[in-house]
A and B are shown apart, each in its own frame.
Chain A
C-alpha cells in the first residue's frame, strides 16, 4: 500500500493542548497480535434476513423481529444509539424532550419517507425552463407576486418542525427522517418559486407582514403537535390547494409542471400531519383543545391574509386570464374557497378533530366582505 503524503506532517501536534493516553486495548493488540472479538458475542437479535419487496428494500421490509417494535416510550438513555442495538453503559444523553411515541408518531411516517426519497425532483433538471415564453405584463406580475408569497412562506415547513426534530427521541427515527425529506422539499419549493419569479422578465414582488405573522406563530407554537395542527393541517393544507390552483391557472407548461410537482410534495406533508394528529388525539384526547386554540388563531390570520390586495388580486388575475377578466377570476376564487374549507375540515375529521363548530372560515367567500368577523360561519 502506498504512503499518503500529508503536508507539514512534522508540525502536527507540535502545539497540542491535550495529551493522548495510549489505548490499553491497542497496546495489547499490538503486543499479542490477538484480536479481542468480544463484541461478536454481544449482538442484538441475530439471524435477521430482511427480504426486499418489489420496490427494493424499504423501511417496512426491515420492521421484523424486535427491530420492528416502536416503543410507546422512547429509550431512557436519550442518545442516538440505534433502536434495537446493544446499549453500553454511560452513553451521554442528548437531552431529548419528546420521548412519548404519541407526541411525534404517524403510522405513515416510514411510508412517506420512502415515497419522498423516491419522488424527489430537481428544479434545474425537471422543469422545462427553456419553454418559458413571455407573458402579458399583468399575468407575469401576478405570477411573480404569487411566487413571492410562496417563496416567503414555504421554508417555514422546514425551519419550524426541524426545531423540534432535535428534541425527538431517536427511537422515532422514521419521523425524523420523514421531516428531513420535508425540509428538503421545502428547500426545493423555495428555490423553484424564486427561480420562476426571476426567469421570465419579472422579479420579486411585495413581501407580507401578515404572512410573516402567520410564520411567526407557527415558529412559536408551544408544542410539536400544536405546531403540526397549525402548520400541516391548516397551513400546508391551504398551500396544497393553492398549488392545485396553481396547476389550474398555470399560463404555461413550465408553471404547470412547477405547481404539480410541488403539489405532490405538499400532499405528503399534509398526510404526515393528519396521521400524527390522529395518533396524538387518540392517545391524548385532551390535546384537542390546544390544537383548537392554535387553529382559532391560525384561521383568523388566514382570513386577514386573504383580505389584502397582494394576496387576493394575483390569484384573481391568473384565474380570470388577465385584469380584463378580474371579475371572472374572483368568481372562480370564490368557488375554490369552498373547496379549501371543505378539504381542511375533511382533514380535521380524518385527524379526529371535530373542528366544524369552532371553525371561523366562511364556507361562502362573499361573507369575507359582507359580515362581521364573528358571524362569518355559514
Chain B
C-alpha cells in the first residue's frame, strides 16, 4: 500500500476525490498546480520530498515527485516537517478532519509549523481561493490505508 507522501498515496486521494464527485462539485472547480514539501524531522534519515500535484476542475490529474521546482512551476509550495503532516493526517484519521488550529490555512497563517512559498502573491492566493477544496482533499486521507 502506498504511504504518505508517495505520489501513489496522493493518487489514491485523487481517486476518492472523483468518487466523492458531489462534494467537490458543490465546492466548485479548482485549477491549481502546487507542491507538497515534506521536510525530514531533525535527526531523521532521508531527504526532503517534493510532490507536485495538479487539480484540474474536480479531479487530481497529476501527482509526481518533483526534482526541479522551476520546471514544475507551482502556484505555491506548502512546506512542513514530516511530523506536522503526520499529526494532521492522524487527526484526520481519528475524526475526519484536523483539529481547529491544525487546518492547512491555520497552520500556514501562523507560519511556524507550516508555511507557503511562492514567487508571486497572486499565485499564492490560489491557496486561499481553493482552500476548502485542498482541505477536503486531504481530509479524504482518513479513507486511504497506509
- Is the beta-carbon distance between B109 and A336 smaller than 8 angstroms? yes
Given contacts A247-B106, A264-B130, contact A350 B101 (CB under 8 A): no
Counting CB contacts under 8 A, is B1 at the interface? no
Q: Chain B residues with Cβ under 8 A from A252's Cβ? A: 100
Counting CB contacts under 8 A, is B27 at the interface? yes
Given contacts A247-B105, A271-B122, A350-B122, contact A264 B132 (CB under 8 A): yes
- Is the beta-carbon distance between B121 and A349 smaller than 8 angstroms? yes
The B-contacting residues of A in range 234-277, CB under 8 angstroms, are 240, 244-245, 247-248, 250-253, 256, 260-261, 263-264, 266-268, 270-271, 274-275
- Is the beta-carbon distance between B57 and A54 smaller than 8 angstroms? yes
**Cα distance, A260 to B103, chains bound together (Å):** 10
Give the most central of A240, A251, A256, A336: most B CB within 10 Å. A256
**Cα distance, A343 to B110, chains bound together (Å):** 13
Given contacts A55-B57, A339-B111, contact A264 B131 (CB under 8 A): yes
Q: Chain B residues with Cβ under 8 A from A223's Cβ? A: none
As a 0/1 sequence over residues 4 to 42 of chain B, the CB contacts with chain A under 8 angstroms (1 = contact) are 000000000000000000000001110100000000000
Counting CB contacts under 8 A, is B125 at the interface? yes
**Cα distance, A54 to B59, chains bound together (Å):** 10
As a 0/1 sequence over residues 121 to 134 of chain B, the CB contacts with chain A under 8 angstroms (1 = contact) are 11011101111100
The B-contacting residues of A in range 300-355, CB under 8 angstroms, are 332, 335-336, 339, 343, 346-347, 349-350
Contact size range, A: 35 or more
The B-contacting residues of A in range 33-57, CB under 8 angstroms, are 54-55
- Is the beta-carbon distance between A270 and B111 smaller than 8 angstroms? no
Counting CB contacts under 8 A, is A120 at the interface? yes
Given contacts A54-B57, A264-B131, contact A247 B103 (CB under 8 A): yes
Q: Chain A residues with Cβ under 8 A from B106's Cβ? A: 247-248
- Is the beta-carbon distance between A248 and B109 smaller than 8 angstroms? yes
**Cα distance, A248 to B114, chains bound together (Å):** 13
Counting CB contacts under 8 A, is B120 at the interface? yes
Contact size range, B: 20 to 34
Q: Chain B residues with Cβ under 8 A from A332's Cβ? A: 110
**Cα distance, A120 to B109, chains bound together (Å):** 24
Counting CB contacts under 8 A, is A115 at the interface? yes
Counting CB contacts under 8 A, is A5 at the interface? no
As a 0/1 sequence over residues 58 to 88 of chain A, the CB contacts with chain B under 8 angstroms (1 = contact) are 0000000000000000000000000000000
**Cα distance, A263 to B132, chains bound together (Å):** 10
Q: Chain A residues with Cβ under 8 A from B103's Cβ? A: 247, 256, 260
- Is the beta-carbon distance between A264 and B128 smaller than 8 angstroms? yes
Q: Chain A residues with Cβ under 8 A from B125's Cβ? A: 240, 267, 270-271
**Cα distance, A245 to B105, chains bound together (Å):** 9
Q: Chain B residues with Cβ under 8 A from A264's Cβ? A: 128-132
- Is the beta-carbon distance between A347 and B121 smaller than 8 angstroms? yes
Counting CB contacts under 8 A, is A118 at the interface? yes
Counting CB contacts under 8 A, is A119 at the interface? yes
Given pairs A115-B28, A256-B103, A336-B109, 18 additional interface contacts (CB within 8 A): A54-B56, A115-B129, A119-B27, A245-B109, A248-B101, A253-B100, A260-B131, A261-B132, A266-B128, A267-B128, A271-B125, A274-B121, A335-B110, A336-B110, A347-B121, A347-B122, A350-B120, A350-B122
Which A residues form the contact surface with B (CB < 8 A)? 54-55, 115, 118-120, 240, 244-245, 247-248, 250-253, 256, 260-261, 263-264, 266-268, 270-271, 274-275, 332, 335-336, 339, 343, 346-347, 349-350
Of the A-B pairs whose beta carbons lie under 8 Å apart in the complex, a sample of 27, sorted by A's number, is A54-B56, A54-B57, A55-B29, A115-B29, A115-B31, A244-B128, A247-B105, A248-B105, A248-B109, A250-B100, A251-B100, A256-B103, A260-B103, A260-B135, A261-B132, A263-B105, A264-B130, A264-B132, A267-B126, A268-B129, A271-B122, A274-B121, A335-B110, A336-B109, A339-B111, A346-B121, A349-B121
